[in-house]
């Protein structure tokens, strides 16, 4: 089971405002070409950014992510924007597209995942996010790894998110495996490793800027690259 950002896809330290402005420009031009009432670009950009940040703050307080596609559709509808489902999906993708271009998969990720599947493993993703699953799945598809994951759980689809142990237990139920048989791979000690341990999973912490200089809990495996996973899992299977 994998986290997404800084685990399967490496984004690094990025300027979210700069990337959002790029995405806002792409979606704004798309709407303008469809003769939609979007007003000035600055108003369109900052209105959407401020609302998204406000809901993100609420999520941090409540521990419950929101569905950005539903929210942006409501914002647009109030402004008189009328699109069909495919057009809404394209608009949301254009907002996300610059961030997708900033995300880089691990070196040899396809070969690593292929080897894991050949070992007979089930693979899944559990990610904290308000980004639409349609965008994330499209990003994974463009990266060439979507079909490896029979389970993809995005927190906005649930009433809880990491580090709530319920999301780990739900993932185990959906993938139909006992918690103790699952290795959770993530980059965050607070959101990934500690709650996965509490849920009863084994864990591997991937080196990332998000855990630099932090103390690694006892019993947690440490990897620098996902390509180390086949050997680690073979070792775990031999000791269990």
The pLDDT value recorded for residue 194 is 97
The pLDDT value recorded for residue 140 is 97
CA distance 46 to 21: 9
| pLDDT-derived band at 106, boundaries 50, 70, 90 | confident
Residue 93: alpha-carbon gap to chain centroid: 14
Phi, psi of 175 (to 5 degrees): -90, -5
Convert the pLDDT of each residue in 81-101 to its tens digit: 999 999 999 999 999 999 999
CA distance 202 to 2: 12
Convert the pLDDT of each residue in 155-194 to its tens digit: 999 999 999 999 999 999 999 999 999 999 999 999 999 9
Convert the pLDDT of each residue in 9-66 to its tens digit: 999 888 889 999 999 999 999 999 999 999 999 999 999 999 999 999 999 999 999 9
The pLDDT value recorded for residue 202 is 96
Other CB atoms within 10 Å distance of the CB of residue 168 = 25
CA distance 7 to 97: 19
> Could you state, in order of their start, the residue ranges of all structural domains in the chain?
16-102, 105-239
| Partners of 105 in beta bridges | 9
Convert the pLDDT of each residue in 215-226 to its tens digit: 999 989 999 999
Return the CATH fold of 105-239. Answer: Rossmann fold (3.40.50)
């Amino acid at each position: 089971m994998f986290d997404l950002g800084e685990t399967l896809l490496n984004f690094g330290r990025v300027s979210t405002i700069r990337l959002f402005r790029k995405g806002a420009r792409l979606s704004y031009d798309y709407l303008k070409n469809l003769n939609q009432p979007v007003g000035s670009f600055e108003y369109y950009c900052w209105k959407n950014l401020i609302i998204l940040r406000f809901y993100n703050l609420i999520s941090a307080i409540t521990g419950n992510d929101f569905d950005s596609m539903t929210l942006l559709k409501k914002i647009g509808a109030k402004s008189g924007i009328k699109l069909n489902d495919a057009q809404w999906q394209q608009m949301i993708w254009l907002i996300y597209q610059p961030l997708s271009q900033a995300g880089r998969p691990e070196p040899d990720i396809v070969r690593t995942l292929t080897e894991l599947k050949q070992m007979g493993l089930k693979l899944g993703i559990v990610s904290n996010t308000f980004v639409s699953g349609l965008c994330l799945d499209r990003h994974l598809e463009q990266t060439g790894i979507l079909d490896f994951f029979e389970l993809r759980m995005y927190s906005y689809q649930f009433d809880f998110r990491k580090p709530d142990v319920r999301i780990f237990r739900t993932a185990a139920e959906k993938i139909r495996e006992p918690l103790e048989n699952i290795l959770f791979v993530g980059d965050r000690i607070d959101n990934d490793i500690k709650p996965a341990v509490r849920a009863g999973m084994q864990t591997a912490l991937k080196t990332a800027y998000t855990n630099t200089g932090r103390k690694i809990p006892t019993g947690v495996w440490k990897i620098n690259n996902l390509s180390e996973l086949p050997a680690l899992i073979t070792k775990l299977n031999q000791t269990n």
